[in-house]
Amino acid sequence: MQINTGLGKKTAKLVCLGALVFIITACSPVIRKHGYVPTEEVLDNVLVGVDTVDTVETTVGRPSGRGLLQDGDWFYVQSIWKNFGYREPKEIDRQVVAIRFDNKGVVSNVERFGIEDGNVVALSRRVTDSGISGVGFLAQMFGSFGNLTGSTLTGNQ
């Protein structure tokens, strides 16, 4: 009695091919993009000292974040994550665009920041303010830490 083994070989080949395709696709990284930052072409249309909150909203769109300590600065944030198999996802790129407004709602500064080894690095900056408007509370507090003396603490000057 003869058994037809041709069907068994075809099935084994299909199973091996399917397993190979599964292994290859399981080892491919998955790239995910979160958030939105405007392109340089879009930001070129935002004019410092001319555009207002309303015109920036029309040109660029609503921001993903707004400043808490300043008067309504707008922040656009985008992150790119790489997920490879069973490993924890890793952030491979982050872009932050900050559009700052003065007290009249007119654009005073447009900045773009990136992430490099966990440190924020300015990629482009249009206007640099000479004041301390961009310095946070903790930076101001620690900046004046060395200037304290016993007489200033007790009020005897």
pLDDT number for residue 69: 47
Full domain range(s) for residue 111: 32-128
Task: Please tell me the least confidently modeled range out of 36-40, 98-102, 138-142.
Answer: 138-142
If one counts the domains in the chain, the total is: 1
pLDDT at 121 over 90: no
pLDDT-based confidence at residue 117 (cuts at 50, 70, 90)? very low
> What is the C-alpha to C-alpha distance for residues 79 and 37, in angstroms, rounded to an integer?
9
* Least confident piece of the model among 14-28, 37-51, 77-91: 14-28
The span from the CA of 90 to the CA of 10, in Å, is 41
Which runs of E-coded beta strand occur in the chain? 30-35, 65-66, 74-83, 90-101, 107-116, 119-125
Q: Is the dihedral of CA 18, 21, 27, 30 positive or negative?
A: negative
Determine, yes or no, domain membership for 150. Answer: no
pLDDT at 157 over 60: no
Residues contacting residue 57 through CB under 8 Å, at least 6 positions apart: none
As a whole number, mean pLDDT of residues 32-60 equals: 91
* Domain presence at residue 47: yes
CA distance 151 to 157: 6
Residue 133 included in any domain: no
Residue pair 93/113 in contact (Cβ under 8 Å)? The answer is no
Domain-located, residue 154: no
Do 110 and 48 form a contact (C-beta atoms < 8 A)?
yes
**Domain-embedded: residue 143:** no
The stretch 90-108 carries a mean pLDDT of 88
Tell me whether residue 117 is in a domain. yes
Would you say residue 88 lies in a domain? yes
Q: Is residue 2 part of a domain?
A: no
Judge whether residue 59 has pLDDT over 70: yes
